Amino acid sequence: MSDKLIAVVKDLISHKHEEEWFEFKVNWFEPHELGEYISALSNVATLQGRDCGYFVWGVENNTHKVVGTTFDVHQDVKHEPLKHYLARQLTPDIGFSFDEIQYEGKRLVVLTIPASTKMPTVFDGKRYIRIGSSKENLMKYPEYESQLFYTLRNGMPTVSNTESEYQEMTFNKLFLYFETKGVTLNRRTFKKNLGLLTVDGKFNLLAQLLSDDCHLPIRFAVFAGNNKASTMYSVKEFGYTCILYSLDQVLDYGKLLNIPQADERDRQTVRKEVPLFSAAAFEEAVINAFVHNRWLDGNAPMFTAYQDRIEILSRGNLPPKQTIDGFFAGESIPVNQALSDVFIKLHITEHTGRGVPRITEAYGKDVIRFNENSIVVTVPYERLGQEVYGDGQVIPPVDVPVNAENVPVGAKNAPVNAENVPVGAKNAPVNAENVPVEDEILSFCTTAKNVWEIAEHLGYKDKRSVRKNLNPLIKQGRIAMTIPDKPNSRFQKYVTIR
């Protein structure tokens, strides 16, 4: 028991904030309020699908620092043993227990509180609930009370037992998707085989997600800067269809954004191409977002690209029986078991639990952030060189015009043709006089010119192509900046050194 409770406390402390299903105190003791806490933690554990709630003495509430406690579990309350005092006023008997453990050399007391089962847990004639960090009388919150009674009758809401508000559904895209994966669906039994019906024979939320119209928007937004206050380039809409197709579309869009970079550092004979970000980490993060998203709330995952990263947000948090250590170790516990089963049948996932380890292997644990109602995975860009605007902004690598082969115009290693490659660029058509681009720049800059004037003269569509040829001339001392102490100034110009 001691080892199990040590693991429990370790997991509780690992949470950034105190959750509704556990409470930390140091030496606090007020017997009647403790009984109210038992009722509240028992009931909220049921609402969150947990087996137990916990009350721990010896841990600071705000810092989660383990400091130890002097709390005495064997004390009396008005000549009555504490345990008896609490049990006598609890209805029904839930079998709570006090245990003393040693954790990091400090004495802790852990009160384990089983979740309510057939009826809400009552103390001294009243039902309590935790809302955030507050302990409240459940009767004041009829919505929570109704939700608790529903959960006690039917179990935790899932995509399988939750009836969809849409009952007129078609599944043509689902059949087509299975066929493309080499799997044949039986049109007579597929609803039962995939678990698309509630016990009442109604279409459930899983059916809605897999239908031809899931009725949910799934969007990929692209911003110029590092936050949503910056200019938004575009919003790609991938929703309102079977989410299997939405998943593929998001993954394909990620491939488009993952511009290959030419690594010419220490180049000998072969130029190495380096992707902007880890394709494997991005793919695992997107698939996890779809599988583990809390679809019950009617919200889809959210995908956002900034100038230095992509953020992948899934709604909800870890499933009840998942610990943070287990999450990072790859111990897979699906939030949506029925949806996970569909993904496994289609070989989209393998149920090996390697998704999170692949992400952390590429970028470390810090790229995964646990918020109160969401999990965010950040996929950072790994740039070989930063091309910068005059005002200091990095040129975003995303959502630029693409040619027929779906490669961004002007991107390194893009296919060359007369329409999308500037005159004078490497591998580009030469100009009529066949003059090297370096000589063109030197000749044009006999009077000071800014980068856009040079780009226009050479027929370039962006500044990056200019800088590839301009920077070597500056290093050679053949071109000078008019404001050398502020190389990124918007007023910067370049002049040929005679």
pLDDT at 338: 96
Domain 219-323+342-380 falls in which CATH fold? Heat Shock Protein 90 (3.30.565)
pLDDT at 265: 63
Contact 409, 465 (CB under 8 A): no
Question: Does residue 393 register a pLDDT over 90?
Answer: no
More confident residue, 88 or 322: 88
- Reported confidence tier of residue 267, pLDDT bands at 50, 70, 90: low
More confident residue, 1 or 205: 205
- Reported confidence tier of residue 266, pLDDT bands at 50, 70, 90: low
High-pLDDT (> 70) share of the chain, %:
87
Q: How large is the average pLDDT for residues 144-161? A: 94
More confident residue, 390 or 74: 74
Average pLDDT, the chain: 87
Separation CA 162–CA 198 (nearest Å):
7
For the chain, the structural domain boundaries read 2-154, 219-323+342-380, 405-498
CATH class as words, domain 2-154: alpha beta
Q: How large is the average pLDDT for residues 131-153? A: 94
Q: How large is the average pLDDT for residues 47-60? A: 96
Give Cβ neighbours of residue 370 (< 8 Å, ≥ 6 apart). Answer: 15, 16, 317, 318, 324
Q: How large is the average pLDDT for residues 458-486? A: 82
pLDDT at 271: 67
pLDDT at 429: 38
pLDDT at 498: 65
Write out pLDDT tens, residues 232-261. 989 999 999 999 999 999 999 999 999 888
- Reported confidence tier of residue 313, pLDDT bands at 50, 70, 90: very high
Cα–Cα nearest to 92, from 144, 153, 42: 42
**CA-based torsion, 277, 409, 234, 223: positive or negative:** positive
Write out pLDDT tens, residues 76-96. 999 999 999 999 999 999 999
Give Cβ neighbours of residue 249 (< 8 Å, ≥ 6 apart). Answer: 238
Q: DSSP 3-state assignment of 272?
A: strand
Question: Does residue 456 register a pLDDT over 70?
Answer: yes
Separation CA 71–CA 75 (nearest Å):
9
Buried b (16+ CB within 10 A) or exposed e, 61-80: eeeeebebbebeeeeebeee
pLDDT at 97: 97
pLDDT at 191: 97
CATH class as words, domain 405-498: mainly alpha
Contact 89, 123 (CB under 8 A): yes
Sheet holding 126-131, edge to edge: 90-91, 122-123, 126-131, 134-137
